[in-house]
A and B are shown apart, each in its own frame.
Chain A
Amino acid sequence: MEPILFIIFGAIAVGGAIMVVTRKHPMSSALYLILTLFAVAALFVLRQAHFLAAIQVIVYAGAVMVLFIFVIMLINVPENKLPMERLTGLRLLGVVAAGFLILESAILARRFAMPAGSTADAGSVQAVGRALFTDYLLAFEITSVLLLAAVIGAIALAKRKI
């Protein structure tokens, strides 16, 4: 059952990602990106990382992408004025590089076994919470300070007078 589901959701994720970069209308791209994020969340669930999957949907699909769509809505470029993007040499190079990346990860995946330890509840809310506040406390706190700085920076940039 699990390999079948993995193939299904993996295909959706990759297909969605390809659609994101090839669609002409930004709204289509954004919606396909949401689809990809969902499929990745489903892959997390298959690896028993339930908490990560929920957070992925809440943060990326529920908040970040809403802001993207908000911006697309506000700019609202008419359909006939959307730029036609060409396949330039640099972009072709990107495709080649992506091919190498896939090849390399395939080789790496063959050489190293899947990390053990993804037992049934390793990805549960309790386990992740305990790990965050014990083993990874310093990294967790530094990240939160970084996010705070980003929030303050955004306000400072957006507001002329504080």
Chain B
Amino acid sequence: MIPLFDLGVAVARVAVFFAFVFGLVVVMTWVERKGAAYMQDRRGPNRARILGITLFGMFHPLADALKFLFKEDFIPDNAHRLFYQLAPMFALAPAILTMAVVPFGPPVTIAGKTISLQIADLNVGILYLFAVSGLAVYGVVLAGWSSNSKYPLLGGLRSSAQMISYEVSLGLSIMGILMVFQAIRLSEIVLGQGELLFGILPKWGVFVQPLGFVLFLTALYAEANRTPFDLPEGESELVAGYHTEYASFKFSMFMMAEYIHMVVGAAVIATLFFGGWQFPYLADKGFAFPGGLSVTVPAAGVLVLRIGSFIGKTLFFCWLYVWVRWTIPRFRYDQVMRLGWKVMLPLSLLNIFVTGLVLLLIDKGGF
């Protein structure tokens, strides 16, 4: 049925992506603390040490993991036991599934076989991403409701309303990208971004769809429940929101889900709006700068540069989450709703309209 080689490649691909995302999740918990401390002029994590080495507090994630594993796994008396246990799984599973369609690099040819650096190049492409990430809301809602306690319930209600509201803008904000690149597969969108705009600028999504980028970024932050949209767990009003009653490993599953959402979100921004694995002015044979200058780079170098470029962009947007979190204060709830329905939605519709108009004019030779 399936040749052994292909099966091996598929397994290896899933394993590598899994390791990448989970590794980044661990690093991000450290980056978040260190970034917060840096911005507030503190030292941040610096206590955890192994044999006297602290390594800038890099061992803190390790201490965290041990703590999560060994704390008491507590279930409140009045909780709906089954749903209470299911909720963290409902939160974590969609988060992990979303990374399946993100291309990490160009297809590689090894021993006459082409291997794509993407777990699944689905025909529905970006729709899969929305379908799966839309399910993340169940984890939050179920956690809030099954805890049978007022703060989690309020947090769950808030977050479900927020996630449904911003899902609309999230979906509409990328329509422009799909229209410009005439593609819905992520691999094709990345290929389209390898061209040049007016002969000088890389044709990255952010240059052809600046408004779309701002809308997508905002909606993504709201979907991931990150500041300034972290009302579902607004600690000053709701203790810890939907996961107030969770402890131990179940709590850490919610944490992991949030951080995986961040990492995958960063990778998707890089893919849709910043050229994915495209390195500016780098073609298959080497650099080709506008103006005729070209530098030849061996194929392996090109591959390394491209994968490195994708990872670099992803890391930058991961850092941007931390940056925004410690810069912008939290919105009030009515402000979140007003922004979602009265600003983001009309703007994303306008973006689609203007994009369509411009594409039509270009098509008719008006430009």
Contacts and interface: CB of A to CB of B under 8 A. Distances in A.
Contacts of B350: none
Contact of A124 (B1, B123, B132, B160): B123
Given A1-B1, A27-B83, A62-B167, A69 B127 contact: no
A55 B167 contact: no
Interface stretch (B133-141, B196-204, B267-275, B318-326): B133-141
Given A62-B167, A66-B137, A66-B164, A57 B123 contact: no
B20 interface: no
Nearest to B184: A125
B330 interface: no
B80 interface: yes
B157 A58 contact: no
Interface string B108-131: 000000000000001111011011
A156 interface: no
Interface in A47-64: 50-51, 53-55, 57-58, 61-63
B24 interface: no
A66 B156 contact: no
Given A66-B137, A66-B138, A73-B153, A58 B123 contact: no
A20 to B, nearest CB: 16
A53 B153 CA distance: 32
A58 B80 contact: no
Given A27-B80, A66-B137, A73-B141, A54 B131 contact: yes
Given A66-B137, A125-B184, A51 B124 contact: yes
Contacts of A125: 123-125, 127, 184
A51 B127 CA distance: 8
B145 interface: yes
Contact of B145 (A34, A53, A58, A76): A76
Contacts of A62: 130-131, 134-135, 137, 167
Interface residues of A, number: 27
Nearest to B125: A125
A58 B160 contact: no
A73 B138 contact: no
B131 A66 contact: no
Contacts of B157: 70, 73-74
A11 B143 CA distance: 29
B127 A58 contact: yes
B144 interface: yes
Nearest to A56: B131
A141 interface: no
Interface string B75-114: 0000010110010000000000000000000000000000
Given A31-B83, A57-B132, A58-B134, 18 more contacts: A27-B145, A31-B86, A50-B123, A51-B127, A54-B127, A54-B128, A57-B131, A57-B135, A58-B130, A58-B131, A61-B134, A61-B135, A62-B167, A66-B164, A69-B142, A69-B160, A73-B145, A125-B125
19 contacts: A1-B1, A27-B80, A51-B123, A51-B124, A57-B132, A61-B134, A62-B134, A63-B134, A63-B164, A66-B141, A66-B160, A67-B164, A69-B138, A70-B160, A73-B141, A73-B145, A73-B153, A124-B124, A125-B124
